[in-house]
Amino acid sequence: MEPFVYSPPKTPLDILYIDEDVLVVNKPSGLLSVPGKELKHWDSLELRVKAQYANSLLVHRLDMDTSGVIIFALNKSSQRSLNLQFEQRVVKKIYEARVFGYINKNNGSIDLPLKVDWPNRPLQKVDIKEGKDALTHWHVLKRERNATRVRLMPETGRTHQLRVHMMSIGHAILGDRFYGNAIEINLAKDLQLHAKKLMVNHPKSGKSLELISKVPF
């Protein structure tokens, strides 16, 4: 694996939705969700959002290389409500990805427990005995020459869950510098994984919010 050099995109905030309680942003690939430990890794979506919305509060994260929908709360009450929805798995998440190879089946599920691979952290690995439960449903959208476009629907939110699960069935996500081989990595400039849709209940009104971001690949 090549040495990591953090070079986040300098694109302006892409706001998908905002009201007095909730702010929804489209995160670009290559930008950390939260500041890293070192000063050179501080640039992040959280700090960029706070620069414009000082009262914004983080609710969840996406991997640095993953693009798509992230929701922020704009007050403590909304943050508590949204955090609870994530904890109780009320939130529905839909991702779109391009994975290596040709998937013959039209849909399926991957039920493989995950745990951190300590010697190689932050990488994760499948561990049947000690891993935490992780469940992903997938559905083929389109078959391409060297890849398959899929919809991914995780029921759990483990670190790198979608990336490890797809790699574990022989179809790593294109551009995945952590879990792909040289061919899979070089088939795409950026990780081909996008958080396309997030469905939550509005923290104040209780009405269903369907938050959608256009897939960039």
The first and second tokens of residue 160, run together, are 């790198």
Exposed/middle/buried for 171, CB within 10 Å: 0-12, 13-18, 19+? Answer: buried
DSSP letter at 41 equals: G
Q: How far is CA 217 from CA 60, 78, 214, in A?
A: 23, 32, 9
151's tokens: 């919809």
Active site residues: 63
Nearest to 23 by CA among 51, 58, 47: 58
